[in-house]
Structure 1
Amino acid sequence: MDDARAGIEVSRMFAEFAVDLAWRDVPHEVVHEAKRALIDYLGVALAGSREPLIGKLKRIYAKRGGEPEARLIGDEYKADVMTAAFINCAAGHALDFDDTHADFFYHGSVTVASAVWATGQMLHGNGRDVILAFIAGWDVGARIARALNPSIYIEGWQNTPTCGTFAATVAAGRLLGLNADAMCHALGMAASQASGSRQNHGSMGKPFQVGKAAMNGVLSALAAREGVTSSTIAIEGPLGFAKLHAREFDLSSALDELGTRFELQRNMYKPYACCLPHHAAIDAMFALRRKHGVTPERVERIVCGMPAGTLDASTRIDEPANGLEGKFSATHSAAVALTDDAAGLAQYADERVGDARLVPLRRAIEFVVDPTLSRGQCTAQAWLRDGESVSVRVDHPRGHLANPLTDDDLVDKFCANAAGMRHHERHMQALQPLWSLDAADDIAEVADLL
């Protein structure tokens, strides 16, 4: 039986939660996590703003842009609110360096942060309003993703642009002052636009479709403010988003502890600039190198064991042709980590991925499914040319909830992402007001630093 006929008003419950959420309802640690997430997003978007895709999108919209309502991150140019949300979101996802939910493949911040950052500037909103909208949107998007996983992912949909469209809609709608009825209509319009295929992994199409989710969320909220209506059960209805995107789902679980348990507390931040399942393998390579002295020239063969469900066509491109494909090549991530003792932006540049000297090592590394391993775990056994064999195991890679990045780690990541930017010193000045964003009277003033 579909959830609408069972009397579960999922869309209405989400709408009322988003509209009614008050500052006093949010624990201090959740507010702090929101600041961490926004800082991580903005730093990654700064770095991503230099990617070729973003230049192409800017050329498209420079000729057709609307009102200068919000700044494009890393640029002096301002665009209309929907365009800013789109391009900033694409920049925030272009490097696949943005945060990820601990329990399923969902980049929780990029769509909702892009929506609140652009809408907040347009409205000259204060920091508290922006943070509350961000938390509300993050929670709704992640709860939908949780209810539909793993089925939606197995069906080939990318969680971030699909579920993230609802996150962006709720966040923008909250800032625009929608009431619960209008928010329901906005969610209905979001359901009409939520899309994104995993076939696009390893290409510009992946950040493009994620960027569109932020844009579509802002559009849905703006349309609802103008009185545009839609189905009010477009998530849970018999022909709703859940039924169309997943063979199995449990939307009632999405409402568990709504308003008292926040999904943002399940957020993880990436230390490495690639697909999340590779991170445990990268740490395994670091362990082989740092603890056992394994270097590429000593390797005969390496076998990495990974959990079921983490190795498929979208995460293991064996012969990557460019940096984007390298981010989804488990063998490249392992090979470059063992060779460079690093897995930052430089390791996924086109030039590094295309370095022919890495090819023999990539071909000497095999990834296999180990059903005894859980999400985030990895084993690696290396057979060396001198006959020696060494093995390592990683249970909690760096960035995992059990091995999290600290505030100082996130500042270091922000600084590294902003390195080389034309206005580097100005970007560095943004850190203090971002850590105290709840005291900001107008986030447009903070945005001007980025």
Structure 2
Amino acid sequence: MERNTTALQDPGYRSIDRKGVGVETTRRDGAGLTRELVRRALAVRHEDLPGTVRQVARDCLVDWLGCTHAGEQEPACRIVRASVLEEGGAAQATLIGSPLKVGVSQAALVNGTASHALDYDDVNLVLPGHVSVAVIPALLALAEYRQASLSEFVAAFVAGYETACRIGALVEPAHYANGFHATATLGSLGAAVACAHLLKLSESEACHAVGVAATQAAGLKAMFGSMAKPLHAGMAAQTGVRSALWAQKGFTSRPDALECAQGFVLAHGQDMHAHHALAEPAGGHHLLNNIFKFHAACFSTHATIEALRELRREHAPSPDQVQRIQVTAGTPCAICNIPSPTTGLEAKFSLRAASAFALLDMDTSRLDTWDRVTEDAVQATLERVRVELVPGMGLSESVVALHLADGRSFERAASVGSPMADKAEQSRRVDRKFLALVSPRIGYDRSLRILDRLTAMVDDASSSASLTDLFLDCRA
């Protein structure tokens, strides 16, 4: 089936069927939208993916594995894992960083929670949220159980990732503004589609999988800064893989769950932009706009950190010279404005804490930095930070002004809303991050072996390499 490149028109939208005949599939009111998005996703083939897309997909898996290894001992993950082990179940899929195997949906839940526990995982602002931590744990558990190849995994990942982003373009900004954590809600749908692709479900079965996921999708932004936020990723992964497996067995739902009356879109907000969902993104894939994190905290703190780092480099003020730090960010950054954090988890969602660490030149890529929020020097600096949230600025923007005791002031604006243009350098930075997170746990040689295996995704478009050896290397 050919990829649809036809622009949206009134009253209908024409796609190409297998015989090359134009077929009306959706209108501006969204009719037929679920089926059209599913059709596009199921058409993804590994051999047709551009090399840059396969490269970024590889980087997403590398980044996810690093974050999951490092996060699997966090309290939230320990609790979820303990509960799963108490339940028992079939040994089908690996718990990353462990020799243990559990059921497919259990592994998706535990690994998904671990991968988001540090809030160090990648983001895409179309949702806005974290696609990889919802899609990869679902897909990887299923791929291990089904003995899928690397190429099958990559194609399914891209299918699920693109679908989650297209649904993000459909429902935003109302969905996120109303308090829904898109990683949890839209991530569930992306995970369901990715697993449907791997299972080779029919178009009808995949539509039912989306409906089953849609009726379970949940997650509140009010939980940011608590253990419930990483749980959102685990829940999304578990929902996605279960929905696809149930649909394969004949479980049905509404096949138009996105656009129907009282369906997913309008139950979560007032926005339904079918033309945005169906438009081709810049570069042809939303995946190319994936942003990797190099600070171990909520993405909305990153612009403030970068602005302060630039001010330090240009003017080299000592912390005791700074009388006040003024941070101006957008109202969406309220999710990262915990004023008086007392734990490392809260610090990751505090613009004041992020500002203090940056001014003190503390390494915000290190996991243990954020646990130092209660140190005297950090607290003293934090007390000098003033945050103002204003309309018109986004999650990825910040303006920081330093006011010194001698009367001088310096200001710097920063934006971190674009991915790295140099994808080769991006891969190198992701690899270095992975080695820093994983090699202390499993050793440098095993860590390098994992990177070498995953590079096959980029180097060989027809790779049928098994994931089995990868899982063996990923165990503790």
Alignment TM-score, normalising by the size of structure 2:
0.88
- 1:340-362 Cα distance to aligned partner (Å, 9 max, x none): 34212335543x12223312211
Give the stretch that moved more between structures: 266-275 or 243-252.
243-252
1:198 corresponds to which letter in structure 2? K
The residue that corresponds to 1:268 in the other structure is: 291
SS at match of 1:136: helix
Q: State the distance in 1 between where 2:78 and 2:428 align.
A: 31
User: C-alpha displacement at 1:434, in angstroms?
Assistant: 0.9
Equivalences for 1:229-240 in 2 at 5 Å? 229-240=252-263
The residue that corresponds to 1:323 in the other structure is: 344
The residue that corresponds to 2:441 in the other structure is: 421
The residue that corresponds to 1:448 in the other structure is: 472
Which residues of structure 2 form unaligned runs of 5+?
Answer: 1-10, 12-25
The residue that corresponds to 1:71 in the other structure is: 94
The residue that corresponds to 2:404 in the other structure is: 384
Q: Residues 331 and 393 of structure 2 are in contact (CA less than 8 Å); yes or no, is this contact kept in structure 1?
A: no
- Structure 1 position 124 matched with structure 2 position 147: yes
Give the stretch that moved more between structures: 5-14 or 231-240.
5-14
Equivalences for 1:148-187 in 2 at 5 Å? 148-187=171-210
The residue that corresponds to 1:354 in the other structure is: 374
Query: Structure 1 residues 371, 234: CA separation in 2 closer, same or farther (over 3 Å shift)?
Result: closer
- 1:219-269 Cα distance to aligned partner (Å, 9 max, x none): 000100101111111111001100111122213321223999211111110
Counterpart among 53, 57, 63 of residue 30 in structure 1:
53
- Structure 1 position 309 matched with structure 2 position 331: yes
Q: State the distance in 2 between where 1:401 and 1:344 align.
A: 17
2:411 corresponds to which letter in structure 1? S
2:105 corresponds to which letter in structure 1? M
2:470 corresponds to which letter in structure 1? V
- Structure 1 position 218 matched with structure 2 position 241: yes
- Identity, % of aligned positions: 31
Query: Structure 1 residues 153, 159: CA separation in 2 closer, same or farther (over 3 Å shift)?
Result: same
User: C-alpha displacement at 1:339, in angstroms?
Assistant: 1.1
User: C-alpha displacement at 1:163, in angstroms?
Assistant: 0.2
Counterpart among 213, 220, 235 of residue 197 in structure 1:
220
Alignment TM-score, normalising by the size of structure 1:
0.93
Which residues of structure 1 form unaligned runs of 5+?
Answer: none
Counterpart among 393, 410, 418 of residue 413 in structure 2:
393
- Structure 1 position 345 matched with structure 2 position 369: no
User: C-alpha displacement at 1:435, in angstroms?
Assistant: 1.2
Give the stretch that moved more between structures: 271-280 or 386-395.
386-395
- 1:377-406 Cα distance to aligned partner (Å, 9 max, x none): 322211112333222232447x74468762
Q: Residues 284 and 394 of structure 1 are in contact (CA less than 8 Å); yes or no, is this contact kept in structure 2?
A: yes
Q: State the distance in 2 between where 1:94 and 1:149 align.
A: 25
Q: State the distance in 2 between where 1:113 and 1:195 align.
A: 18
Hey, which bits of structure 1, 4+ residues long, moved more than 6 A? none
1:409 corresponds to which letter in structure 2? R
Q: Residues 64 and 133 of structure 2 are in contact (CA less than 8 Å); yes or no, is this contact kept in structure 1?
A: yes
- Structure 1 position 365 matched with structure 2 position 385: yes
Q: State the distance in 2 between where 1:92 and 1:348 align.
A: 19
Query: Structure 1 residues 291, 419: CA separation in 2 closer, same or farther (over 3 Å shift)?
Result: farther
User: C-alpha displacement at 1:419, in angstroms?
Assistant: 3.9
Give aligned pairs, total.
Answer: 445
The residue that corresponds to 1:334 in the other structure is: 355
1:89 corresponds to which letter in structure 2? G
SS at match of 1:135: helix
The residue that corresponds to 2:432 in the other structure is: 412
Q: State the distance in 1 between where 2:445 and 2:287 align.
A: 30
Q: State the distance in 2 between where 1:259 and 1:224 align.
A: 33
- 1:383-432 Cα distance to aligned partner (Å, 9 max, x none): 112333222232447x7446876211111100111142145542332110
User: C-alpha displacement at 1:283, in angstroms?
Assistant: 1.0
- 1:23-42 Cα distance to aligned partner (Å, 9 max, x none): 34322211111111111111
2:42 corresponds to which letter in structure 1? V
Q: Residues 17 and 259 of structure 1 are in contact (CA less than 8 Å); yes or no, is this contact kept in structure 2?
A: no
SS at match of 2:87: coil
Counterpart among 422, 436, 454 of residue 434 in structure 1:
454
Q: State the distance in 2 between where 1:224 and 1:260 align.
A: 33
Counterpart among 111, 127, 134 of residue 111 in structure 1:
134
SS at match of 2:387: strand
Counterpart among 46, 53, 60 of residue 76 in structure 2:
53
1:328 corresponds to which letter in structure 2? F
Q: Residues 8 and 252 of structure 1 are in contact (CA less than 8 Å); yes or no, is this contact kept in structure 2?
A: no
2:363 corresponds to which letter in structure 1? A
Q: State the distance in 2 between where 1:372 and 1:178 align.
A: 43
Q: State the distance in 2 between where 1:368 and 1:104 align.
A: 25
